[in-house]
Structure 1
Amino acid sequence: MAANAIDQTRRMLSLVTYLRDRPGARVEEVARAFGISDDELISDLNVLPMCGTSFRGGDLLEIDTDGERIWWRNSEALGSDTAQPLRLAADEATALLVAARAVATLPGLRESDREALQRATAKLETAAGESAGASSRLSVTFESEGGVFADVDRAIAERRRLWIRYYSPARDELTEREVDPIRLFAVGHTYVEAWCRLSEARRTFRLDRVAEIKLLDERSDPPPIEPRDLSAGLVQPAATDPEVVVEVGPGGRWVAEYYPHDSAEELADGGLRITLRTPEPASLRRLALRLGADGRITAPEELARSAREVARQALAAYGADGAYRADGAEAQAAPAPGVPG
Structure 2
Amino acid sequence: MSSVSTRLVRLLNMVPYFQANPRITRAEAAAELGVTEQQLTLDLDQLWMCGLPGYGPGDLIDFEFSGDTIDVTFSAGMDHPLRLTSPEATGILVALRALLEVPGIVDPEAARSAIAKIESAAGTATGSRDGVSAATEEPAPIESEAAAAVRSAVRDGRALAIDYYSASHDRLSSRIVDPIRVVLVADHTYLEAWCRTAEAVRLFRFDRIVDARVLDERSAPPEPAVQARPDTSLFDADPSLPSATLLIDRSAAWMFDYYPLRVLRELPDGACEAAMTFASEAWMARFVLGFGAAVRVLQPQSLADRVRDAAVTALDAYRAMSVGNDE
Q: TM-score, normalised by structure 1?
A: 0.47
Greater Rg, structure 1 or structure 2?
2
